[in-house]
Amino acid sequence: MKIKSLDGKVVKIVSNRYTVRGDDGKEYKAFARGKLRLQGDIYVGDNVKVVFERGDAIIDVVKPRQNQLVRPYVANVDSALIVVAKEPEPDMLLIDKIIINCHLEGIKPVLLYNKADLATEEEINALFAPYKDYLDCVVLSALEKKGLEKLKPYIEGKVVCFAGQSAVGKTSLLNAILDLNLKTDGLSAKIKRGKNTTRHVEIYQALGGDIMDTCGFSMLSIVSINPEELIYYYEDFIPYQDKCRFKSCTHTEEPDCAIKQAVENGELSKERYERYLAIYEEIKEHKRRLYD
């Protein structure tokens, strides 16, 4: 019997050609119905229904998204593997913003220290210190192919993406994982495209899951919250806030703030708190410009 329709996932988009991995495990090159393209977009990661008409595969339905990110556009991400390294120097403000975005989008963040071959254990531990109690932290080296198998529990059965600054080694890590997979399962191929073409997104299969090279985290979603809500995206700060003198404490200028107290006692990271203040101000400033 001929198949008339099939469910699948969009794994690659090049102009108006969509590659869909069907639930049968096969890949189909598909076009999209005009109405879908008019409504906006189909993203890599979208779960779709494909119908077959006169030998063509056509995306007929895009199913509701669990989340969506921009620049590049991707959908239905379960987990973000946030990469930092000794070089380039970690931009922790960006990392904190990515973590906040993860919480906003319902994505599980995992912190990866790549290029471990360049760093000392002390340097790695110092970077992980403010995060390790509530985020999984993994040390690895794409160059030396060390620690890669530790990623399996974070990837298996999930859709994940790499996030982080340019040149921390996201593409190298993905390639190293694909190599590992090639050796163990005889599956998948290396990324063929050039180094700086992260404009198009593609899903690769390895370690039992779907991996995107990068995911787009729009800073817009941070400014979509109110400054006083920011605290809810700091799992490490939340336990202290009940002890602030004011119930409405924003943990910025108020007296008897338990979070500031914990920073002074060294229980919370001073640097991370200062970044909290910077992000708080950024959101406040954005609101001011919106409503003035």
Ligand X SMILES: Nc1nc2c(ncn2[C@@H]2O[C@H](COP(=O)(O)OP(=O)(O)O)[C@@H](O)[C@H]2O)c(=O)[nH]1
Residue closer to Zn ion (CB basis): 140 or 244:
244
19 forms part of the interface with Mg ion (CB under 5 A):
no
Evaluate whether 59 touches 36 at the Cβ level (below 8 Å).
Answer: yes
- State the minimum distance, in angstroms, from the CB of residue 63 to ligand X: 30
Residue closer to ligand X (CB basis): 24 or 117:
117
- State the minimum distance, in angstroms, from the CB of residue 171 to Mg ion: 3
Among 167, 219, 225, 277, binds ligand X (CB under 6 A): 167
Residue closer to Mg ion (CB basis): 34 or 194:
194
Q: Which does 259 bind (CB under 5 to 8 A by kind): ligand X, Zn ion, Mg ion, none?
A: Zn ion
How far apart are alpha carbons 56 and 61 in whole angstroms? 15
Site for ligand X in 117-136 (CB under 6 A): 117-118
- State the minimum distance, in angstroms, from the CB of residue 243 to ligand X: 40
- State the minimum distance, in angstroms, from the CB of residue 70 to ligand X: 19
Evaluate whether 114 touches 179 at the Cβ level (below 8 Å).
Answer: no
CA distances from residue 186 to 190, 249, 277 in whole angstroms, order as listed = 12, 56, 49
For residue 48, give both structure tokens. 């779709």
Give residues with Cβ within 8 angstroms of 147, minimum separation 6.
116, 138, 139, 140, 141
The stretch among 33-41, 110-118, 254-262, 276-284 that binds ligand X (CB under 6 A) is 110-118
- State the minimum distance, in angstroms, from the CB of residue 11 to Mg ion: 18
114 forms part of the interface with Mg ion (CB under 5 A):
no
Among 115, 251, 260, 275, binds ligand X (CB under 6 A): 115
Q: Which does 115 bind (CB under 5 to 8 A by kind): ligand X, Mg ion, Zn ion, none?
A: ligand X
The stretch among 17-25, 128-136, 166-174, 253-261 that binds ligand X (CB under 6 A) is 166-174
How far apart are alpha carbons 100 and 220 in whole angstroms? 12
> Which residues contact Zn ion by CB under 5 A?
244, 249, 251, 257, 259
Mode of pairing for the β-strands spanning 79-85 and 108-114: parallel
- State the minimum distance, in angstroms, from the CB of residue 258 to Zn ion: 6
171 forms part of the interface with Mg ion (CB under 5 A):
yes
**What is the dihedral sign for C-alpha 131, 270, 95, 99?**
positive
Phi, psi of 136 (to 5 degrees): -75, 130
The residues with which 30 forms a beta bridge, in sequence order, are 18, 57
How far apart are alpha carbons 46 and 44 in whole angstroms? 6
Site for ligand X in 220-279 (CB under 6 A): none
- State the minimum distance, in angstroms, from the CB of residue 158 to ligand X: 20
How far apart are alpha carbons 13 and 15 in whole angstroms? 6
User: Alpha helix locations (H) across 33-190?
Assistant: 34-39, 92-105, 121-128, 152-155, 170-185
Evaluate whether 162 touches 213 at the Cβ level (below 8 Å).
Answer: yes
How far apart are alpha carbons 59 and 10 in whole angstroms? 9
Binding site for ligand X (CB under 6 A): 114-115, 117-118, 141-143, 166-172, 195
Binding site for Mg ion (CB under 5 A): 170-171, 198
